[in-house]
C-alpha cells in the first residue's frame, strides 16, 4: 500500500497540536515542578507532558499510525515528548521536509525506562533474586516467634517484608523485623521492611456481645465416624484463652487424674460426662463423645467422691453478627455502643431492623439519600433510603442467598461520598514513630489528595525521618484516582517513592466494570512519573490459603509484570506461594517487558 501524502500531513498537524499542548502545560506547571526532589525533576516534567498528551484523544491518529507501520505511542509514557518529536521527524521526512530541531528539554526514547529502574532500586534496593519485579510478603504474627518461617520466605524469593500496623503491637513488630534482618544476613540478600499505616478506614462499630459460651464440636472423620470433642481445662488465672481452653479453679485442676469423669449440664440443659484423658504441664485434656456447649459458671461434678465440685470460670463472650438479606433494612448510627440485633417474626419477616455503628461517626452526617454503600469488601451492598437524627437507613440490594452476616470491624465504602477525613489518624502518628526508627518503607493508606501527602511529609520531617525512608502511597479510593497527578507531583519531594494499587477497595470505589481501565490508568501515569508500582490484593490468595491456585490467579500474576512489585498476603501455604510466584515472574519476564510483549524464539517441546 502506498503512503498517502494527505494522510501524512493530517498526522503531522495532529502531532504538532499535541506537542503544542505539552509545551503549554509545561509553562503552567513550572512552579509545582520546582518543589520536586532533584532525582525526580525530569520525571515530574515527563508526567506533566504525559498528562497533557492524555488530554488529547489520540485513538484515530493511533489507528492511522498503525496502518503506516509507525509507533502508536501506546508504550511511550516514559518519554512521551521525546517519542512525539521522534515521530514528528519521521513523518516530516516521509513528506520530504525536515523541521528544525526543538530546544525543549525532554527525555529521549529509553531514558524513561532507565529512570524507572533507578527509582525502583532506590525504593527496594537492587534485586538479589535476578528479577525485575520484586515480591512483597505480608508477615503473619507467627513470624515474630518462628524464625524458620521467615528464613524460608527469604530463601523462596521475598524481596520485601510487609508488617501491617493494623495488627499486633510494637513488641511483635520488632521481633518480626529482627527475624527478617537475621534471615537476610544468613542468605546474603537485602530484604526491605515495609510497614503499613492503618489510615482512616471507615468500618462498622462494635456489636453487642453474646453469651459467654464456647462450643466444642465432636467432628466426623473421612469415613463418617464421629470423634470425641476435645476440651482443655486450664487455670482460671490464664489471661488469654486458646480455642480449646476452659478456665477452672487451679487447686481443683491439679487434683484431676487420667480417667476421672466429670458430670455437667451444658447451656442447652443436656447432660454430659467428660473424661480426663491426659495431664499436661499447662492444663488437662478431656474428651466428650458429643458436641457440647459450655458457659461461664457451669457446674462441674467429678464422679470421684474426694474431688469436690467447681464451676467454669470467665469465658469470653460470643462475637455476634447482624443478619442482612436482600430487601431488608439496616440502621447505621454514629452513636458508640448503640448496636442491636434485628428481630424477626415466626415466619422470618423482619420486624425491627438491626442497628450497627459507623466509625468515624462524622460520616453519618455526610451521607445523602440515594448514596450507594458497601459493607465487608463489597459482600453486602445497599442504598441509603432515609436519614434520621445521627442515623441513616440502608435498603440492602445485594447479599448472598439466605442472607449475609455483618460483623464488627468490617469495612464500609461510600464510593460517591467526599469523606472529609484526613489521611493520618492519631494511631498512624503514634505508629509512625516506630516506623521511622525500624522500617525501610512506610506504606500510607487512604491517601486521597495532595493535602494528605503534605501532611505526611510534614509529619516525617517533624519526626526526623531519614531521607532514605521510602514512601509507598496506597491508591484505594475514587478520590485518590481523580487526584492522582497532583498526589504524585506532591510526593516527588521524596527520593524513595512508590505507589500501591490496592485493588480490593479501589474496585469497590470505582466499580468492578471500571477497574480494568482505572488500573491501566494508574500504571500508565506512574510509568510516566517513573514511580514503581506495587500490584496488590488477593494475589495467589487461594494458593497461599488453601495450597492450590485458581486458573484466574495464574493469569493475574502473569499480568502483574506490568508493575515493579507484587504483594502476597499471609496464609498457611505462603512459602509455597512465594516460590511459585518467583518462578512465574522469572518466566514471564522473558516474554514481557512491563506492557510490551517480547518475542523469544518459540520452543515446542
Average pLDDT over residues 190-199: 94
Q: Tell me if the domain spanning 322-413 has CATH number 3.60.110.10.
A: no
Average pLDDT over residues 316-328: 92
What are the start and end residues of each CATH 2.40.33.10 domain in the chain?
213-311, 322-413
The answer to whether the CB of 41 falls within 8 A of the CB of 26 is: no
> Which residues on adjacent β-strands are paired with residue 344?
350
β-strands 192-196, 404-406 pairing = unpaired
Q: Worst-scoring range by mean pLDDT, 58-67, 149-158, 190-199?
A: 58-67
The answer to whether the CB of 448 falls within 8 A of the CB of 214 is: no
Reported as a single tens digit per residue, the pLDDT across 90-144 is: 998 888 887 776 666 788 899 999 999 999 999 999 888 889 999 999 999 999 9
Q: Worst-scoring range by mean pLDDT, 11-15, 173-177, 415-419, 565-569?
A: 415-419
In order, the DSSP letters of 75-99 are T-GGGHHHHHHHHHHHHHHHHT--P
Residue 284 confidence (pLDDT) above 60: yes
Residue 1 confidence (pLDDT) above 60: no
Q: Kindly report whether the peptide bond that precedes residue 360 is cis, defined as omega within 30 degrees of 0.
A: yes
In the chain, % of residues over pLDDT 70: 97
Which class does domain 116-200+422-591 fall in? alpha beta
- One of 3.40.50.720, 3.60.20.10, 3.50.50.60, 2.40.33.10 is the CATH number of 213-311, namely 2.40.33.10
Contacts of 596 by beta carbon, 8 Å cutoff, 6+ apart: 75
What are the start and end residues of each CATH 3.20.20.60 domain in the chain?
116-200+422-591
Residue 217 confidence (pLDDT) above 90: yes
Contacts of 197 by beta carbon, 8 Å cutoff, 6+ apart: 165, 424, 428, 431, 432, 435, 442, 443, 444, 445
The predicted structure's pLDDT at residue 31: 65
DSSP label at residue 265: E
Query: With bands split at pLDDT 50, 70 and 90, how would you rate the model's confidence at 600?
Result: confident
Residue (of 311, 302, 319) closest to 214 by Cα position: 319
Amino acid at each position: 500500500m502506498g503512503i498517502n501524502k494527505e494522510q501524512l500531513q493530517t498526522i503531522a498537524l495532529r502531532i504538532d497540536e499535541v506537542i503544542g499542548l505539552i509545551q503549554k502545560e509545561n509553562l503552567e506547571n513550572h512552579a509545582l515542578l520546582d518543589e520536586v526532589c532533584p532525582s525526580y525533576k525530569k520525571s515530574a516534567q515527563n508526567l506533566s507532558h504525559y498528562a497533557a498528551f492524555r488530554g488529547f484523544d489520540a485513538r484515530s491518529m493511533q489507528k492511522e499510525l498503525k496502518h503506516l507501520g509507525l509507533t502508536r505511542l501506546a508504550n511511550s509514557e516514559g518519554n512521551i515528548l521525546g517519542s512525539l518529536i521522534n515521530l514528528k521527524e519521521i513523518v516530516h521526512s516521509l513528506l520530504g521536509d525536515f523541521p528544525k530541531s526543538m530546544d525543549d528539554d525532554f527525555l529521549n526514547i529509553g531514558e524513561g525506562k532507565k529512570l524507572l529502574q533507578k527509582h525502583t532500586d532506590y525504593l527496594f534496593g537492587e534485586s538479589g533474586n535476578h528479577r525485575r519485579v520484586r515480591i512483597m510478603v505480608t508477615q503473619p504474627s507467627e513470624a515474630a516467634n518462628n524464625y524458620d518461617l521467615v528464613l524460608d520466605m527469604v530463601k523462596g524469593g521475598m524481596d520485601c517484608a510487609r508488617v501491617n500496623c493494623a495488627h499486633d503491637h510494637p513488641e511483635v513488630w520488632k521481633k518480626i523485623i529482627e527475624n527478617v534482618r537475621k534471615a537476610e544476613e544468613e542468605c546474603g540478600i537485602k530484604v526491605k521492611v515495609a510497614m503499613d499505616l492503618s489510615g482512616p478506614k471507615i468500618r462498622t462499630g462494635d456489636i453487642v456481645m453474646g453469651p459467654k459460651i464456647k462450643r466444642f464440636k465432636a467432628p466426623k472423620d473421612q469415613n463418617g465416624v464421629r470423634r470425641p470433642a476435645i476440651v482443655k481445662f486450664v487455670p482460671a488465672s490464664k489471661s488469654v484463652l486458646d480455642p480449646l481452653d476452659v478456665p477452672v479453679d487451679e487447686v481443683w485442676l491439679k487434683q484431676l487424674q487420667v480417667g476421672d469423669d466429670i458430670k455437667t449440664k451444658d447451656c442447652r440443659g443436656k447432660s454430659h460426662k467428660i473424661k480426663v484423658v491426659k495431664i499436661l504441664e499447662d492444663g488437662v485434656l478431656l474428651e466428650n463423645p458429643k458436641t457440647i456447649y459450655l458457659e461461664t459458671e457451669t457446674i462441674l461434678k467429678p464422679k470421684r467422691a474426694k474431688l469436690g465440685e467447681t464451676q467454669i470460670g470467665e469465658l469470653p463472650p460470643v462475637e455476634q453478627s447482624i443478619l442482612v438479606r436482600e430487601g431488608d433494612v439496616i440502621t447505621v448510627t454514629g452513636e458508640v455502643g448503640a448496636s442491636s440485633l434485628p428481630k424477626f417474626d415466626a415466619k422470618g419477616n423482619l420486624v425491627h431492623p438491626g442497628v450497627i455503628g459507623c466509625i468515624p461517626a462524622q460520616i453519618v452526617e455526610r451521607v445523602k439519600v440515594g448514596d450507594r454503600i458497601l459493607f465487608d469488601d463489597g459482600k453486602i451492598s445497599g442504598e441509603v433510603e432515609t436519614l434520621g437524627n445521627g442515623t441513616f437507613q440502608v435498603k440492602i440490594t445485594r447479599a448472598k442467598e439466605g442472607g449475609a452476616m455483618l460483623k464488627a470491624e468490617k469495612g464500609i465504602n461510600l464510593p460517591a461520598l467526599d469523606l472529609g477525613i484526613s489521611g493520618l489518624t492519631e494511631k498512624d502518628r503514634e505508629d509512625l514513630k516506630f516506623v521511622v526508627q525500624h522500617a525501610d518503607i512506610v506504606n500510607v493508606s487512604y491517601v486521597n489528595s495532595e493535602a494528605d501527602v503534605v501532611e505526611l511529609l510534614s509529619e516525617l520531617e517533624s519526626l526526623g525521618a531519614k531521607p532514605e525512608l521510602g514512601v509507598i502511597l496506597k491508591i484505594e479510593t475514587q478520590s485518590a484516582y481523580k487526584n492522582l497527578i497532583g498526589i504524585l507531583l506532591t510526593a516527588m519531594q521524596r527520593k524513595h517513592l512508590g505507589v500501591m494499587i490496592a485493588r480490593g477497595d479501589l474496585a469497590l470505589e470505582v466499580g468492578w466494570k471500571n477497574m480494568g481501565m482505572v488500573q491501566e490508568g494508574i500504571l500508565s501515569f506512574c510509568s510516566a512519573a517513573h514511580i514503581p508500582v506495587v500490584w496488590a490484593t488477593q494475589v495467589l490468595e487461594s494458593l497461599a490459603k488453601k495450597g492450590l491456585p485458581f486458573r484466574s490467579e495464574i493469569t493475574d500474576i502473569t499480568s502483574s509484570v506490568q508493575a515493579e512489585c507484587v504483594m502476597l498476603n499471609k496464609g498457611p501455604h505462603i512459602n509455597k506461594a512465594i516460590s511459585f510466584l518467583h518462578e512465574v515472574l522469572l518466566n514471564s519476564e522473558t516474554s514481557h517487558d512491563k506492557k510490551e510483549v517480547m518475542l523469544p524464539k518459540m520452543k515446542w517441546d
